[in-house]
Structure 1
Amino acid sequence: MRNIFILLFLLIFISCNSDILPKPKAYLSLEYPKKEYSYLTLERPYSFEVLKSTKIIDDENNWLKIEYPNLKASIDITYRPVKNNLKELLTESEKLVFKHAVKAEQIIPKDFVNPKKRVFGSLYEITGNAASQIQFHVTDSTNNFIKGSLYFYVKPNYDSILPAVAYVKEDILHLIETLEWK
C-alpha cells in the first residue's frame, strides 16, 4: 500500500513538470473605411460635409439622422430657429448634456469659434457608460441653432465602444468645421 502511495505521488510530481505559460496579449483589430466626405444634399438652412459611407435619414423640422450602419450608431441632429430665445436653447442643450452626469465618469467641454463663418458652439465628450458619448451644439447666435448627439444602439460599455467613439468624433469635428449657414 505504501509503495502504491509513493508511486502515485511520484507520478503526480513528475506529470506536473510542464511549464505554465501566460497567454499572449491580444489586441482588438478594428478596421474602418477610408474617410471620404461630401456635402449634405438635403435642402436645409445649414450645410456641412458628411461621411459618404453614412446613411442620411431626413426628418421634419430640418432635423436629420446620420446613421453609421456598420457601427450601429447615429448622430441625431436637431435644428431650431433662434427667435430671441438663444439663452433658452443653450440652457436646454446643456441640461441634456448634464443629464448624463449620473453615469458619466467625466464630461469634457470644448468650445468652437469661427467668426468668419459665424459658427459658435461647444462639444461635450462624455466618458463612462452614459447613453450618449458626444453631444454638441452650434449656432450663428442670431438665426440658427443645431444640437447633435451621438448614440450607439447597444448597451453602453465605454471601453468597448471607445474606438468607434473616436472614429465618429473625427466626423463630428469635420461637420462643425465645414458647417455653413444659408
Structure 2
Amino acid sequence: MQTSAYQSICDGNFMQQGLSFGALSRVIRILNEPKLRRKTTMIAKSNINFTRVLLGGIAAGITFFIINGAVNGGILREQFYAWSAEMGSLRHPPEPFVTMGLWLLRAFILGIVGVWMYAGMRPRYGAGPKTALLAGLLLWIVSRFAMTLDLIVYGILPFGIITGQLIGSFFAILIAVYLGAWLYKE
C-alpha cells in the first residue's frame, strides 16, 4: 500500500485513485525516514548587529553622497546644464535644499541597505572585501542599473548623462559599501 500510494502521488493522480488522507500521511512518514531525507548543509546562524549596520550604513551613505555629487556636479555638470536649458519649462525640479535632502536620504538608504546586505551575506561568503564588493555589486544592479533601464526606455535624460551616472554610481556604491562593511563588526 505504501508503494502504490507513493506512486499515485508522484504520478499526480492521488485523488483519482480515491486514496485517503491516511495514505498520504503514510507516504509523508516514509519520505521523512532518515535514510530517505536529503542531506542539507546548514549555514551557521548569526545575529546581525543592527547598530553597526546603521553606523556603517551612515558612513557608506556619506561616501556615496560625496562621490555621486562629484560625478554629477563635476564630471557631468556641463551635460546637465545643456540638458536643463534644452528642456526649459518642461522641468519642474524641487527647491535646491529639497533636492539635496532627497539625494542625502537616498544615499543613506543605499548605504544602510548595502551594509545590511553585507551583514546578511557574511555567514555564507565570509567576512571581507570580496563579500563587501559582491554586496555592493548586487545593490548597484537592483538600485541603479535597473533604474537606468527605465530612464533609457522613457527617454528622460540624454544617453551621455545616463551612462556617466551609471558608471559613476557603480564606483560610488562599491567604494561606499566597502567602507561601510569595513566598519561593520558582529
> TM > 0.5 between the two?
no
Higher share in helix? 2
More relative contact order, 1 or 2 (CA 8 Å, 6+ apart):
2
What is the TM-score normalised by the length of structure 1? 0.28
Higher share in strand? 1
What is the TM-score normalised by the length of structure 2? 0.27
